[in-house]
Amino acid sequence: MTYLILMIAILAGLLLPALNIAREKAKSTSCRGNLKQIGLAMEMYSNDYNDSMLPMRSKARWSGNVWSYNLADLGYLKVFKAYVCPSDKEKTQPGNPAKPTADDFYTKTSYAMNGDTFSGGPNDTNYWGGYAPNGIKRGQLAAFPRRSPDLLWIYDAQWAVGGFYDMGTYTRYRHGRARDMNALCFGGHVISVKNPVPGQEKGMNNMPGKSRYRSPAWVSFGGGRGGFIEMKD
């Protein structure tokens, strides 16, 4: 009997790591599915709004409702769960899961928008991504000659807002034992971004090689004008 118990314990010890890896892979796959859904909803928005892309916030970088709330409120992707990564251990449920608030979409979801490229909002700010009163046009961004091959659009993060000028500490590497971050790119494809500090879930400022993911940025030129500029490491 003791021998049998010992064998069961040994087998459990061998199988448990494999089961944990399989469970995490399933969560990462579900996360990537969320990002694909968000991308399709974003494309539907642009189709309905004269090629304009949904900004990070309804007013400016630090004011107004966040993009995920607006996308749900307009009816493009209403399911709150689609904005929550299964591997996100930082999040708690909304007070009323049947009716999440604007604040819930800000702080209790798992994905941020790259506001540096896709605009922080229609009002002017001194940040990259400021002053896009008519929205960022999808065709204009697609035509930018030095656009990053994997320009990040929506990605694993602490909450719903962020910039990608420095791939900073708001980002989260939730997958593969904190080795990967899932991200939706402008082209509609989902990628895994490798963590420069494997095992550390929280992102870092000045990530090496970030030009692959962040160019161009939208900036204010003053006088009510704005445009794209190339971003480099």
At 195-209, the pLDDT tens digits run: 988 999 998 877 767
Q: Which domain holds residue 191?
A: 2-229
Number of domains present in the structure of the chain: 1
Supply the pLDDT for residue 109: 97
27 vs 3: which has the higher pLDDT: 27
> At 168, is the secondary structure helix, strand, or coil?
coil
DSSP per-residue codes, 168-198: -TTBB--BTTTTEEEEEETTS-EEEEEPSST
pLDDT of 97 > 60? The answer is yes
Residue 121 carries which side chain, given as an amino acid letter?
G
For residue 68, which of 57, 59, 150 has the smallest C-alpha distance? 57
> At 222, is the secondary structure helix, strand, or coil?
strand
Poorest-pLDDT segment among 5-14, 66-75, 120-129, 218-227: 5-14
For residue 25, which of 109, 96, 86 has the smallest C-alpha distance? 86
Supply the pLDDT for residue 14: 57
Structure tokens at 3: 């021998």
Tokens 């003053």 belong to 222
Supply the pLDDT for residue 87: 95
Tokens 């966040």 belong to 66
pLDDT of 166 > 70? The answer is no
Whether residue 232 contacts residue 211, with contact meaning beta carbons closer than 8 Å, is answered with yes
Average pLDDT, the chain: 85
Residue 149 carries which side chain, given as an amino acid letter?
P
Distance between CA atoms of residues 32 and 149, nearest Å: 19
pTM over 0.75: yes
Percent of the chain having pLDDT more than 70? 84
123 vs 139: which has the higher pLDDT: 139
- Starting at the earlier edge strand, list the strands of the sheet with 180-185: 111-113, 152-156, 180-185, 190-194
H helix or E strand, kind and range, residue 47: helix 2-48
